[in-house]
Amino acid sequence: MERNEKYILIALGGNAFQTKGEPGTTENYWKNAYRAANTIVRIVKEGYKVAITHGNGPQVGTILEWMERSKDRIPPLAMDIAGAMTQGWLGYLLMQAIDNTLVKEGIRDSVKGAVAIVNQVLVSKDDPAWQNPTKYVGSYYTKEEAERLAKEKGWIIKPDPRGGYRRVVPSPDPKENIEVGAVKKLIEEGWIVIASGGGGIPVIRNEDGTLQGVEAVIDKDLAGEVLATALGVGTFVILTDVDGAYINYGKPDQKKLDVVTVSELEKYYKEGHFKPGSMGPKVLAAIRFIKHGGRKAMIGHLQKGYEVIKGESGTIVVPD
Protein backbone atom coordinates (compact mmCIF):
# COMPACT_ATOMS: atom_id res chain seq x y z
CA MET A 1 0.00 0.00 0.00
CA GLU A 2 1.19 3.49 -0.85
CA ARG A 3 1.99 5.54 2.25
CA ASN A 4 0.84 9.13 2.71
CA GLU A 5 3.57 11.21 4.35
CA LYS A 6 1.01 13.73 5.60
CA TYR A 7 -1.07 11.10 7.38
CA ILE A 8 -0.03 10.32 10.95
CA LEU A 9 -1.52 8.06 13.63
CA ILE A 10 -0.83 8.95 17.27
CA ALA A 11 -1.37 6.32 19.96
CA LEU A 12 -1.87 7.70 23.48
CA GLY A 13 -1.39 5.39 26.45
CA GLY A 14 -4.25 4.97 28.93
CA ASN A 15 -1.83 6.50 31.43
CA ALA A 16 -1.86 9.61 29.22
CA PHE A 17 -5.15 10.41 30.94
CA GLN A 18 -4.44 9.07 34.41
CA THR A 19 -0.74 9.03 35.23
CA LYS A 20 0.64 6.80 37.95
CA GLY A 21 0.09 8.34 41.37
CA GLU A 22 -2.81 10.56 40.28
CA PRO A 23 -6.19 9.89 41.95
CA GLY A 24 -8.03 9.94 38.63
CA THR A 25 -10.25 12.95 39.30
CA THR A 26 -12.17 14.80 36.62
CA GLU A 27 -9.60 17.60 36.89
CA ASN A 28 -6.76 15.10 36.27
CA TYR A 29 -8.48 13.79 33.17
CA TRP A 30 -9.12 17.21 31.65
CA LYS A 31 -5.58 18.41 32.39
CA ASN A 32 -4.08 15.38 30.65
CA ALA A 33 -6.53 15.52 27.73
CA TYR A 34 -5.53 19.14 27.04
CA ARG A 35 -1.85 18.20 27.20
CA ALA A 36 -2.46 15.62 24.48
CA ALA A 37 -4.63 18.06 22.50
CA ASN A 38 -1.86 20.66 22.43
CA THR A 39 0.50 18.17 20.79
CA ILE A 40 -2.13 17.07 18.28
CA VAL A 41 -3.09 20.62 17.27
CA ARG A 42 0.56 21.61 16.77
CA ILE A 43 0.85 18.78 14.24
CA VAL A 44 -2.44 19.68 12.55
CA LYS A 45 -1.16 23.25 12.11
CA GLU A 46 1.76 21.82 10.11
CA GLY A 47 -0.61 20.27 7.60
CA TYR A 48 -0.86 16.72 8.88
CA LYS A 49 -4.07 14.70 8.78
CA VAL A 50 -4.29 12.97 12.15
CA ALA A 51 -5.89 9.82 13.49
CA ILE A 52 -5.69 9.15 17.21
CA THR A 53 -6.04 6.00 19.25
CA HIS A 54 -5.76 5.64 22.99
CA GLY A 55 -5.29 3.04 25.69
CA ASN A 56 -7.84 2.30 28.39
CA GLY A 57 -6.02 0.06 30.89
CA PRO A 58 -6.58 2.22 33.98
CA GLN A 59 -10.09 3.20 32.90
CA VAL A 60 -11.46 -0.22 31.94
CA GLY A 61 -10.03 -1.56 35.19
CA THR A 62 -11.88 1.17 37.07
CA ILE A 63 -15.15 0.29 35.33
CA LEU A 64 -14.68 -3.41 36.08
CA GLU A 65 -14.06 -2.51 39.72
CA TRP A 66 -17.23 -0.37 39.80
CA MET A 67 -19.14 -3.36 38.46
CA GLU A 68 -17.57 -5.69 40.99
CA ARG A 69 -18.37 -3.44 43.94
CA SER A 70 -21.99 -2.87 42.91
CA LYS A 71 -22.80 -6.38 41.67
CA ASP A 72 -25.19 -7.06 44.59
CA ARG A 73 -27.43 -4.22 43.39
CA ILE A 74 -26.65 -3.79 39.67
CA PRO A 75 -25.91 -6.72 37.33
CA PRO A 76 -22.30 -6.51 36.04
CA LEU A 77 -21.84 -5.99 32.32
CA ALA A 78 -19.37 -7.77 30.05
CA MET A 79 -15.77 -6.64 29.48
CA ASP A 80 -16.39 -5.70 25.83
CA ILE A 81 -19.17 -3.34 26.97
CA ALA A 82 -16.77 -1.85 29.53
CA GLY A 83 -14.34 -1.25 26.65
CA ALA A 84 -17.05 0.52 24.65
CA MET A 85 -17.79 2.71 27.69
CA THR A 86 -14.15 3.84 27.81
CA GLN A 87 -14.28 4.77 24.11
CA GLY A 88 -17.12 7.17 24.86
CA TRP A 89 -15.50 8.47 28.07
CA LEU A 90 -12.04 9.17 26.69
CA GLY A 91 -13.25 10.05 23.20
CA TYR A 92 -15.40 12.82 24.67
CA LEU A 93 -12.45 14.24 26.62
CA LEU A 94 -10.24 14.30 23.54
CA MET A 95 -12.92 15.69 21.22
CA GLN A 96 -13.67 18.65 23.44
CA ALA A 97 -10.04 19.31 24.36
CA ILE A 98 -8.98 19.25 20.70
CA ASP A 99 -11.87 21.41 19.52
CA ASN A 100 -11.27 23.99 22.26
CA THR A 101 -7.56 24.06 21.47
CA LEU A 102 -8.33 24.61 17.77
CA VAL A 103 -10.51 27.58 18.80
CA LYS A 104 -7.76 29.04 21.00
CA GLU A 105 -5.25 28.67 18.18
CA GLY A 106 -7.60 30.43 15.78
CA ILE A 107 -7.79 27.55 13.28
CA ARG A 108 -11.16 25.99 14.14
CA ASP A 109 -12.70 27.28 10.90
CA SER A 110 -10.03 25.60 8.76
CA VAL A 111 -10.38 22.18 10.41
CA LYS A 112 -13.68 20.32 10.62
CA GLY A 113 -12.95 19.31 14.21
CA ALA A 114 -12.46 16.10 16.15
CA VAL A 115 -14.78 13.09 16.13
CA ALA A 116 -14.65 9.86 18.15
CA ILE A 117 -16.21 6.66 16.85
CA VAL A 118 -17.26 3.49 18.64
CA ASN A 119 -14.96 1.02 16.94
CA GLN A 120 -14.77 -2.79 16.85
CA VAL A 121 -11.60 -4.82 16.24
CA LEU A 122 -11.61 -8.44 15.12
CA VAL A 123 -9.71 -11.09 17.13
CA SER A 124 -9.50 -14.88 16.82
CA LYS A 125 -11.40 -17.20 19.13
CA ASP A 126 -8.41 -19.57 18.86
CA ASP A 127 -5.86 -17.00 20.09
CA PRO A 128 -3.56 -18.47 22.81
CA ALA A 129 -4.01 -15.26 24.82
CA TRP A 130 -7.24 -16.67 26.25
CA GLN A 131 -5.11 -19.11 28.28
CA ASN A 132 -2.38 -16.58 29.21
CA PRO A 133 -3.69 -13.18 30.40
CA THR A 134 -1.06 -10.43 30.06
CA LYS A 135 -2.91 -7.10 29.69
CA TYR A 136 -2.63 -4.88 32.78
CA VAL A 137 -5.85 -3.10 33.76
CA GLY A 138 -6.97 -1.01 36.70
CA SER A 139 -5.18 0.30 39.74
CA TYR A 140 -1.74 -0.46 41.17
CA TYR A 141 -1.70 -2.54 44.37
CA THR A 142 0.84 -3.57 46.97
CA LYS A 143 1.78 -7.25 47.13
CA GLU A 144 -0.44 -7.73 50.18
CA GLU A 145 -3.43 -6.03 48.52
CA ALA A 146 -2.87 -8.05 45.33
CA GLU A 147 -2.83 -11.36 47.20
CA ARG A 148 -6.04 -10.46 49.04
CA LEU A 149 -7.85 -9.37 45.85
CA ALA A 150 -6.74 -12.45 43.94
CA LYS A 151 -8.16 -14.63 46.71
CA GLU A 152 -11.36 -12.65 47.21
CA LYS A 153 -12.28 -11.93 43.59
CA GLY A 154 -10.54 -14.68 41.65
CA TRP A 155 -8.54 -12.13 39.67
CA ILE A 156 -5.23 -12.97 38.05
CA ILE A 157 -2.73 -10.40 39.34
CA LYS A 158 0.90 -10.00 38.25
CA PRO A 159 3.73 -7.59 39.08
CA ASP A 160 3.79 -4.62 36.70
CA PRO A 161 7.31 -3.82 35.37
CA ARG A 162 6.57 -0.16 36.15
CA GLY A 163 6.04 -0.98 39.83
CA GLY A 164 3.36 -2.52 42.02
CA TYR A 165 0.87 -5.25 41.18
CA ARG A 166 -2.09 -5.09 38.78
CA ARG A 167 -4.89 -7.24 37.45
CA VAL A 168 -4.26 -8.89 34.07
CA VAL A 169 -6.86 -9.99 31.50
CA PRO A 170 -6.64 -11.74 28.09
CA SER A 171 -5.24 -9.62 25.26
CA PRO A 172 -5.74 -11.40 21.91
CA ASP A 173 -3.92 -10.22 18.79
CA PRO A 174 -5.91 -7.75 16.65
CA LYS A 175 -6.62 -8.91 13.09
CA GLU A 176 -8.83 -6.28 11.45
CA ASN A 177 -10.42 -2.92 12.20
CA ILE A 178 -14.10 -3.36 11.38
CA GLU A 179 -14.98 0.31 10.77
CA VAL A 180 -11.74 1.32 9.03
CA GLY A 181 -13.62 2.50 5.91
CA ALA A 182 -15.51 5.11 7.93
CA VAL A 183 -12.31 6.23 9.67
CA LYS A 184 -10.56 6.70 6.33
CA LYS A 185 -13.44 8.69 4.83
CA LEU A 186 -13.59 11.01 7.84
CA ILE A 187 -9.84 11.70 7.69
CA GLU A 188 -9.98 12.37 3.95
CA GLU A 189 -12.77 14.89 4.58
CA GLY A 190 -10.64 16.79 7.10
CA TRP A 191 -11.74 15.41 10.46
CA ILE A 192 -9.33 14.57 13.29
CA VAL A 193 -10.51 11.03 14.06
CA ILE A 194 -10.32 9.22 17.40
CA ALA A 195 -10.72 5.49 16.70
CA SER A 196 -9.75 2.04 17.95
CA GLY A 197 -9.91 3.40 21.50
CA GLY A 198 -8.66 0.97 24.12
CA GLY A 199 -7.47 -1.28 21.31
CA GLY A 200 -11.00 -1.42 19.94
CA ILE A 201 -13.97 -3.38 21.22
CA PRO A 202 -12.86 -7.03 20.87
CA VAL A 203 -15.14 -9.11 18.65
CA ILE A 204 -14.97 -12.48 16.93
CA ARG A 205 -16.68 -13.42 13.67
CA ASN A 206 -19.04 -16.37 13.87
CA GLU A 207 -19.38 -18.97 11.13
CA ASP A 208 -22.49 -17.23 9.80
CA GLY A 209 -20.55 -13.96 9.43
CA THR A 210 -22.04 -12.20 12.45
CA LEU A 211 -19.91 -10.43 15.05
CA GLN A 212 -19.87 -11.20 18.77
CA GLY A 213 -18.14 -9.34 21.62
CA VAL A 214 -15.69 -11.26 23.81
CA GLU A 215 -14.20 -10.83 27.29
CA ALA A 216 -10.81 -9.23 26.66
CA VAL A 217 -8.89 -5.97 26.29
CA ILE A 218 -6.86 -5.62 23.09
CA ASP A 219 -3.49 -3.92 23.29
CA LYS A 220 -3.98 -0.43 21.88
CA ASP A 221 -0.55 -0.24 20.22
CA LEU A 222 -0.99 -3.49 18.29
CA ALA A 223 -4.51 -2.43 17.29
CA GLY A 224 -3.15 1.00 16.42
CA GLU A 225 -0.68 -0.60 14.02
CA VAL A 226 -3.50 -2.50 12.31
CA LEU A 227 -5.39 0.77 11.84
CA ALA A 228 -2.28 2.74 10.80
CA THR A 229 -1.38 0.16 8.16
CA ALA A 230 -4.94 -0.03 6.83
CA LEU A 231 -5.10 3.78 6.57
CA GLY A 232 -1.73 3.96 4.79
CA VAL A 233 -0.24 6.49 7.20
CA GLY A 234 3.44 7.31 6.83
CA THR A 235 4.22 7.76 10.53
CA PHE A 236 3.02 5.85 13.59
CA VAL A 237 3.69 7.51 16.95
CA ILE A 238 3.31 5.79 20.33
CA LEU A 239 3.24 8.20 23.29
CA THR A 240 3.52 6.76 26.78
CA ASP A 241 5.05 7.46 30.21
CA VAL A 242 8.68 6.65 29.34
CA ASP A 243 11.08 8.48 27.03
CA GLY A 244 11.76 5.64 24.62
CA ALA A 245 12.67 1.98 24.27
CA TYR A 246 15.64 0.69 26.30
CA ILE A 247 17.73 -2.44 26.17
CA ASN A 248 18.78 -3.86 29.54
CA TYR A 249 16.13 -1.63 31.11
CA GLY A 250 16.53 -1.18 34.85
CA LYS A 251 20.08 -2.57 34.85
CA PRO A 252 23.35 -0.64 35.31
CA ASP A 253 24.10 -0.96 31.60
CA GLN A 254 20.66 0.10 30.34
CA LYS A 255 20.76 1.95 27.03
CA LYS A 256 18.09 4.02 25.31
CA LEU A 257 17.63 3.35 21.62
CA ASP A 258 17.59 6.64 19.70
CA VAL A 259 17.43 5.59 16.03
CA VAL A 260 17.18 1.88 15.32
CA THR A 261 16.50 -0.22 12.22
CA VAL A 262 13.60 -2.62 12.27
CA SER A 263 15.85 -5.71 12.01
CA GLU A 264 18.01 -4.53 14.93
CA LEU A 265 14.93 -3.81 17.03
CA GLU A 266 13.45 -7.20 16.17
CA LYS A 267 16.65 -8.87 17.34
CA TYR A 268 16.41 -7.07 20.70
CA TYR A 269 12.72 -7.99 20.92
CA LYS A 270 13.45 -11.69 20.40
CA GLU A 271 16.20 -11.50 23.04
CA GLY A 272 13.55 -10.48 25.58
CA HIS A 273 14.59 -6.88 26.28
CA PHE A 274 10.99 -5.59 26.29
CA LYS A 275 8.50 -6.84 28.87
CA PRO A 276 5.05 -8.18 27.90
CA GLY A 277 2.25 -5.88 28.98
CA SER A 278 4.44 -2.75 28.98
CA MET A 279 7.13 -1.92 26.37
CA GLY A 280 6.88 -5.28 24.59
CA PRO A 281 3.66 -4.59 22.64
CA LYS A 282 4.83 -1.07 21.75
CA VAL A 283 8.04 -2.40 20.23
CA LEU A 284 6.18 -5.21 18.44
CA ALA A 285 3.68 -2.70 17.03
CA ALA A 286 6.53 -0.53 15.73
CA ILE A 287 8.22 -3.56 14.15
CA ARG A 288 4.99 -4.67 12.44
CA PHE A 289 4.29 -1.16 11.14
CA ILE A 290 7.69 -0.84 9.45
CA LYS A 291 7.59 -4.41 8.09
CA HIS A 292 4.15 -3.69 6.64
CA GLY A 293 5.53 -0.73 4.69
CA GLY A 294 5.46 2.16 7.17
CA ARG A 295 8.10 4.89 6.87
CA LYS A 296 8.75 5.74 10.56
CA ALA A 297 7.56 4.51 13.95
CA MET A 298 8.28 6.47 17.11
CA ILE A 299 8.04 5.71 20.83
CA GLY A 300 8.38 8.45 23.43
CA HIS A 301 6.97 10.39 26.36
CA LEU A 302 3.59 12.08 26.09
CA GLN A 303 4.90 15.23 27.75
CA LYS A 304 7.36 15.58 24.86
CA GLY A 305 4.88 14.48 22.22
CA TYR A 306 5.68 17.21 19.70
CA GLU A 307 9.44 16.63 20.05
CA VAL A 308 8.90 12.88 19.56
CA ILE A 309 6.90 13.47 16.38
CA LYS A 310 9.59 15.85 15.08
CA GLY A 311 12.30 13.26 15.78
CA GLU A 312 13.94 15.26 18.59
CA SER A 313 13.07 12.86 21.42
CA GLY A 314 12.18 9.22 21.98
CA THR A 315 13.05 6.18 19.89
CA ILE A 316 12.75 6.24 16.08
CA VAL A 317 12.34 2.97 14.18
CA VAL A 318 13.20 3.00 10.47
CA PRO A 319 13.35 0.45 7.65
CA ASP A 320 16.63 -1.39 7.02
Measure Cα distances from 95 to 37, 85, 101, 102, 306 in Å: 9, 15, 10, 11, 19
Residues for the chain: how many in total?
320
From the CB of residue 60, how many other CB atoms can be counted at a distance below 10 Å? 26
Active site members: 14-15, 135, 220, 282
The closest of 8, 187, 197 to 85, measured between CA atoms, is: 197
In angstroms, the CA 218 to CA 55 distance is: 9
3-state secondary structure (DSSP) of residue 202: strand
Q: How far apart are CA 140 and CA 150, in angstroms?
A: 13
Instruction: Answer positive or negative: Cα dihedral of 140, 75, 118, 37.
Output: negative
From residue 162, how far is each of 126, 128, 159, 247, 276 by CA, in Å?
30, 25, 8, 15, 12
Position 36: which residue type? A
